Structure 1
Amino acid sequence: MLSISRNGHLWKGELYKISFDIFGHSILAREQVIVGYKGGGIVEVFVKYKVFGKTIHNTIHKIRFATLNVGFHHHIQTKLAKDIATDQDINTKILNLCKGLDEKSIETLTTIISRLRTAHILHKEFIETLTEEEYLELYRITTSFFPNIHQLSPTLYAYKDYLLPTNHFEISVIWYEHSLKEFESNTLAKIKNKNIIDVGACVGDSALIFQKYTDKNIYSFEPTNENYEVLLQTLKLNNTTRIIPIKKALGAELSQAQISVNDGCSSLVFDNHTTSHNVEIITLDSFVFEHNLEVGFIKVDVEGFEQEFLKGAKQTITEQKPAMLISIYHQASDFFEIKPMIESWNLGYSFKIIKPTNYDTAMECVLFCEVIE
C-alpha cells in the first residue's frame, strides 16, 4: 500500500520529513531542516534526499519565505508612505508622537515609519527586511492559523469554536485577539465588569472575541447594509445574546452621509470606487446617555473616520475614561494626531502603539489607551 507521510514542522533546528511509503517502508524521502536565518525573510535550509533509507544527495537551499505588502491594492499604506516621506514637518510629528511611549511602542513606530519611507523612495511594493522574530511568527501563522480555518459549507466557516458565514478570519482579530492582553491587568479587570463598544463591527468577528473579556454587553455598530446582514448571521450562528447589533455609524454629530461600500474597507472618508448608500450617523455620547451605559472598552476601526468618532465620544471618554483601541493606520493625520488629541483632554491616559505581525507594513497598527491607577 502506497502512502505519503509528513512529520515535523519547518522550524529552526527541527527535522521536517516528507516520505513516500509502501507497507510502512520508506521508498523515497526528503528531509530538511532550517539551519540559519539570513535576513530579509530568507532562510537557509539543509535538504537530504533518501531512497530506501540511503542518502543519495545533500544540498543547501536559500528560501524566501515572506515579505510585507506596501503597494498593489493596499492603497492606504501607499498613501501613508507617500505622506510620511514627503512631509516637511515629519521630525516634529514623530517626536511628538513618541512622547510618553514605552520602548516597545517607539520601536514599533520607528520600524513602520522607516519601512514606509523606504518603500516610497525606492518605489517598492514589498518590504523584505523582516526580522527573524517576524519570520518565525509569520511561519507560525501560516502553519497554525490558516490551516485551521475550515469551510464546512458555502456559507459556514469555522476556526476553533468561532463560526462565520464568510471567510473573514483576520490575523489581528482572531489570532491575536486584538492584542487585548497588552492592557494592564487592572484595566482588563475593569473591562470585565462593563460594556464594550465595538465601532466598525464588520461581520461581527471582533465582537465574538470580546465576549470573553466582559460579562456585560457588546454594542456593535455597523452601518453598511451588506456587512450588517452578515453580522446578524454571525450572531445567529454563534447563538450569542450579549452582542447587540446597531445599524448606524458613529461620528461627531447627528447626520446622514454616503458610505462607500467595500467589505471590511467600507468608508465614510475614502471613495473605494464601489457602490454607496446613505447611512445614519449618531454620536456615542448620545447613545450612552440614552441607554445609561457604563463603558469599559471602546474599539474603533472605521477606515479614517476615527477622529470624527472621537469628537462625538468626548463626553463619554472624559467621564468614564474607558480603555480604547483605535486604528491609526488609515491616514497620516490619524497616525500623528489622534494621540495628541486625546492627550490634550488631560484625562491621564497612557498610550502604547501596537502592530501585530501580519503580511502588511502598517495595516492594523493601533493606539492603545488606558488610565493606569
Structure 2
Amino acid sequence: MRRVRILFYWLFFSKNNINFFELLTFLMKPRVDVIAKKFIKNIEDAGEYNKVTFLNISKELYWPKKFSVSGIFQVTAETFDSNDWHYYQYNKTQVEKGEILLDIGTAEGLFPLVVLDKCSHIYMVEPSQYFYNSLNKSFEEDKEKTTIFNLAVGNKKDKVFFNEDSLDGQISNDSKTNRSIDVETVDNLIGENKITYLKADIEGFEYEMLQGAKETISKNKPKIAITTYHKQNNPQEIISLIKSFVPEYNYFVKGIHGEEPKPVMIHFWI
C-alpha cells in the first residue's frame, strides 16, 4: 500500500528529485531484510546485546535486545544502500577525511561506526539509555575519537520525559512511566568546538534542534543531512531556517515519504 501511495504522490504531487528510473527501482525493490542481509555477516548473542558483524566494515555493532532485530535490518539498509532515500551521503554530503561529525539522534550508531576511520572526531547525541549503553559498548575502543551525550537537543535548555520503550524515541508527558532527561541546545553543547558535518534524525524535532544550533551552523557552515519526513516537519520551514543562518547554502531534497508527499531527506552544503 505504501508503494502505491508513493506512486500516486510522484504522479500528482511532487517528485522530490526522484526520476522515473529511481521510482521504478523503489517500486520493485526487495524487502528491507533482504537488502540488509547483503551487508550483514552475522548476528550473534552477546548477553544483553545482539552483536552484529558486517561484510564491508571491520567494526562490530551492539544492538540492545530490548528492540527487535528488524530494526537492525532497517538501519543497515538505510546506511549502506546508496539507492535508499534515507541514505545520508548524497554526492554533495559525503563524509570526507578529517570531518568532525555531530550525529544527533544517533540511536544504534551504525552511521558513525561506518565513517569512524574518516573522521577526526565524532559527537553523538542519543536520549535513549538503551542505545546510549550500546553506543558505549560499540565505541569502547574509540573513546579518544568519540564523545557520547545521553540527552536530547532542542531550542532551549529544558527537561522532558522520554519513553524508553519506544524504538522511535518518543517524548512523553507521562512522568510516571517515563524517564526525565535533559534537553540542551546544540550551541551550548558544542560551544567553541568545531564541526564540519551535521547529521540529524530526531523524530520530528529537527526544526527545534536547528533553532538551537544557529551559532554553530552560522560559524561552521557544516554539511548537513537531515530527515524531514516526520509528521511534525515542514520541509520548507527547515530550508528557510537554515538559509536564514547561512544564505549561501545549496540544498537538495530527496525521496517521497509514504504517508505524505514530503521529502525523506534534505542535504545542505556550501
TM-score, scaled relative to structure 2 = 0.75
User: In the aligned structure 1, how far is the partner of 2:221 from the partner of 2:212?
Assistant: 14
Structure 1 residue 140: deviation in Å? 9.0
Which whole-Å CA distance do the structure 2 matches of 1:135 and 1:69 have between them?
6
Q: Shift of residue 162 of structure 1?
A: 4.1
**Cα deviation 1:157-177 (Å, max 9, x = unaligned):** 222234222242411124349
Report the equivalent of 2:26: 134
Contact 2:99–2:118 at 8 Å: present in 1 too?
A: no
Counterparts in 2 of 1:105 and 1:264: CA distance versus 1, 3 Å: same
Task: Give 1:192's aligned residue.
Answer: 97
Give the alignment of 1:81-92 within 5 angstroms: none
1:183 maps to what in 2?
91
Higher RCO structure (Cα 8 Å, ≥6 apart): 2
Q: Name the residue aligned to 1:231.
A: 135
Structure 2 counterparts to residues 31-110 of structure 1, below 5 A: 68=2, 105-107=16-18
Corresponding position of 2:116: 211
Cα contact 1:253–1:283 (8 A) shared by 2: yes
**SS of residue paired to 1:304:** coil
CA apart distance, 1:266: 0.6
Partner of 1:156: 51
- Which residue of 1 is the match for residue 66 of structure 2? none
Aligned to 1:370: 269
How many pairs align? 246
Larger Rg: 1
CA distance in 1, matches of 2:219, 2:24: 44
| Correspondence for 1:25 | none
- TM-superposed CA distance for 1:271, in Å, is 7.4
Letter of the aligned partner of 1:182 in structure 2?
Y
Whichever structure has more helix as a proportion of its residues is 1
SS at match of 2:25: helix
The superposition leaves residues 189-232 of structure 1 with CA deviations (integer Å, 9 ceiling, x where unpaired) of 7x533411000111211211231442x11100112222211222
Which range moves more in the overlay, 148-157 or 298-307? 148-157
Aligned partner letter, 1:248: L
Alpha carbon RMSD of aligned pairs, Å? 3.7
The farther-off stretch of 317-326 and 224-233 is: 224-233
Identity among equivalent positions (%) equals: 19
Structure 1: any 5+ residue segments left out of the alignment? 1-66, 72-76, 85-90, 99-103, 112-129
> Residues of 1 paired with 2:248 and 2:205: CA distance?
24
For residues 108-138 of structure 1, the C-alpha deviation after alignment (integer angstroms, 9 at most, x for no partner) is 7xx9xxxxxxxxxxxxxxxxxx9432255x2
Name the counterpart of 1:146.
Answer: 37
Q: Are the counterparts in 2 of residues 295 and 320 from structure 1 also a CA contact under 8 Å?
A: yes
